[in-house]
Structure 1
Amino acid sequence: MNKRNNFRRMNKNNKNIGGYKHVHRIAPFYIGKLDKKKRSLGFVDPITDEEITKIKREVDLSYFTKKEEYNVQNIKGLNESVHISEARMGTANDGDIVLIQIVRGENLLKSEGIIKYILKRQRNTLVGVFQASKEFGFVVPDDKTFISDIFIPKKEVFGAKDGDKVLVEVTKFVNDRKSNSEGKIIKIVARKGENYMELKSLLAENGIEEEFSPEVMFEAENTATEVHEDEIKNRVDLRNIRTYTIDGEDAKDLDDAVSIEKKQNYIVHVSIADVSHYVKENSFMDKEAVKRGNSIYLIDTVIPMLPTALSNDICSLNAGVDRLAMTVKAEIDNQGNILDYDIFKSVVKVDRRMSYKEVQNIIDGNVEDEDKNDFKLFEKLANILIKRRTKNGYINFDIPEIEVELDEKGKAIGVDYKTRYFANKIIEHLMLTANEIVAEEYNKLEVPVIYRVHETPDPDRVLEINEQLEEYGVKINVQKEEGKNGKKDDGRFIPQKEYIRVLNEIEKKKKEQEEGIDLSKDSSEYIDYSHVSYLLLRSMRKAKYLEKNLGHYGIGSEYYLHFTSPIRRYSDLYTHRMISKYLKNKNYFKENNLYNEYESKAKIISEVISETERLAIDLERQYDDIKISEYVSNFDGETFDGVVVSKTNFGMFVNIGKEIEGLVRKEGLPEGMVITDYKVGQKVKVLVYEVNQELGQIDLKLVTK
Structure 2
Amino acid sequence: MEYESKLNIELTSQIFSTSLESKDAYNKRCNQLLLNKKLLDLTHLKTYTIDDHETFEIDDAISLDIKDGRRIVWIHISDPSTFIPINSQIDLEARKKSTSIYLSTTTQPMLPRDLVENNFSLKAGKKTATLSISIELDNEGNILNYNIQRGFISPRYNLTYDEANELIDYAPPEENDLSELSNLLNKRREWRKVNGAIFLEQPYGRLKVIEGKQIIQITEPSMSRKLVSESMILFGTIVAKYAKKMSIPIPFRSQHRTRNTNSLIRGSHHLAILNSSIKQNLPKATTSTKAGYHFSLGLDCYSQATSPLRRYTDLLVHRQVLGTLDKMSIYSEEEISDILTSLMISHKQSIDIMREDLLSSQRNWFLKNKEKIWQTFFLRRLSKTQGVTLLYFKELEMDLACHLNSLGEWNIGDKLEIIFNDIPDSSKILSFKLVK
TM over 0.5: yes
Equivalent of 1:539 in 266, 277, 281: 281
Determine if the alignment matches structure 1 residue 617 to structure 2 residue 351: yes
Determine if the alignment matches structure 1 residue 649 to structure 2 residue 384: yes
The AA in structure 1 aligned to 2:54 is: D
Q: Using the alignment, how far apart are the partners of 1:364 and 1:694 within structure 2?
A: 51
Aligned residues: 412
Q: Using the alignment, how far apart are the partners of 1:224 and 1:694 within structure 2?
A: 49
CA gap 1:554/1:216 in 2 versus in 1, 3 angstroms? farther
Question: 2:124 touches 2:155 (CA, 8 Å); kept in 1?
Answer: yes
Q: CA deviation at 1:563?
A: 1.7
The AA in structure 2 aligned to 1:556 is: G
Question: 2:13 touches 2:90 (CA, 8 Å); kept in 1?
Answer: yes
Residues 294-373 of structure 1: pairs in structure 2 closer than 5 A: 294-365=99-170, 371-373=174-176
Q: CA deviation at 1:279?
A: 0.7
Q: What do you get for the CA RMSD once the two structures are aligned?
A: 2.6
The AA in structure 1 aligned to 2:285 is: A
Q: Using the alignment, how far apart are the partners of 1:407 and 1:581 within structure 2?
A: 42
When the two structures are superposed, what TM-score results if normalisation uses the length of structure 1?
0.55
Equivalent of 1:227 in 27, 34, 37: 27
State, as a whole percentage, how many aligned pairs show the same letter. Answer: 24
Q: Using the alignment, how far apart are the partners of 1:692 and 1:254 within structure 2?
A: 40
Partner in structure 2 of residue 395 of structure 1: 198
Question: 1:529 touches 1:681 (CA, 8 Å); kept in 2?
Answer: no
Partner in structure 1 of residue 3 of structure 2: none
Q: CA deviation at 1:660?
A: 5.9
Q: CA deviation at 1:216?
A: 4.1
Q: Using the alignment, how far apart are the partners of 2:46 and 2:229 within structure 1?
A: 20
Relative contact order (alpha carbons < 8 A, sep ≥ 6): 1 or 2 greater?
2
CA gap 1:400/1:574 in 2 versus in 1, 3 angstroms? same
Determine if the alignment matches structure 1 residue 571 to structure 2 residue 303: no
Q: Using the alignment, how far apart are the partners of 2:375 and 2:49 within structure 1?
A: 41
Partner in structure 2 of residue 548 of structure 1: 290
Determine if the alignment matches structure 1 residue 698 to structure 2 residue 430: yes
The AA in structure 2 aligned to 1:690 is: D
SS of equivalent to 2:431: strand
SS of equivalent to 1:602: helix
Determine if the alignment matches structure 1 residue 441 to structure 2 residue 183: no
Q: Using the alignment, how far apart are the partners of 1:370 and 1:529 within structure 2?
A: 36
Q: Using the alignment, how far apart are the partners of 1:223 and 1:573 within structure 2?
A: 19
Q: Report which of the two structures shows the higher radius of gyration computed on alpha carbons.
A: 1
Question: 1:255 touches 1:317 (CA, 8 Å); kept in 2?
Answer: yes
Q: Using the alignment, how far apart are the partners of 1:692 and 1:534 within structure 2?
A: 27
Question: 1:637 touches 1:689 (CA, 8 Å); kept in 2?
Answer: no
Q: CA deviation at 1:415?
A: 2.3
Q: Using the alignment, how far apart are the partners of 1:699 and 1:581 within structure 2?
A: 52
CA gap 1:358/1:694 in 2 versus in 1, 3 angstroms? farther
Partner in structure 2 of residue 628 of structure 1: 362
Question: 1:219 touches 1:284 (CA, 8 Å); kept in 2?
Answer: no
Residues 508-519 of structure 1: pairs in structure 2 closer than 5 A: 509-510=267-268
Q: Using the alignment, how far apart are the partners of 1:664 and 1:272 within structure 2?
A: 43
Equivalent of 1:598 in 327, 332, 338: 332
Residues 190-229 of structure 1: pairs in structure 2 closer than 5 A: 216=13, 219=16, 221=18, 222-225=21-24, 226-228=26-28, 229=31
CA gap 1:578/1:639 in 2 versus in 1, 3 angstroms? closer
Question: 1:232 touches 1:346 (CA, 8 Å); kept in 2?
Answer: no
Partner in structure 1 of residue 6 of structure 2: none
Q: CA deviation at 1:559?
A: 1.4
Partner in structure 1 of residue 52 of structure 2: 248
Q: Using the alignment, how far apart are the partners of 1:656 and 1:560 within structure 2?
A: 33
Q: Using the alignment, how far apart are the partners of 1:529 and 1:236 within structure 2?
A: 44
Q: CA deviation at 1:250?
A: 1.1
CA gap 1:355/1:533 in 2 versus in 1, 3 angstroms? same
Partner in structure 2 of residue 685 of structure 1: 417
Unaligned runs of 5+ in 1: 1-214, 457-493, 512-527
SS of equivalent to 1:396: coil
Q: CA deviation at 1:441?
A: 1.1
When the two structures are superposed, what TM-score results if normalisation uses the length of structure 2?
0.86
Question: 1:546 touches 1:607 (CA, 8 Å); kept in 2?
Answer: no
Question: 2:268 touches 2:413 (CA, 8 Å); kept in 1?
Answer: no
Residues 469-484 of structure 1: pairs in structure 2 closer than 5 A: none
Determine if the alignment matches structure 1 residue 257 to structure 2 residue 61: yes
Question: 1:687 touches 1:700 (CA, 8 Å); kept in 2?
Answer: yes
Equivalent of 2:87 in 261, 279, 282: 282
SS of equivalent to 1:227: helix
CA gap 1:684/1:329 in 2 versus in 1, 3 angstroms? same
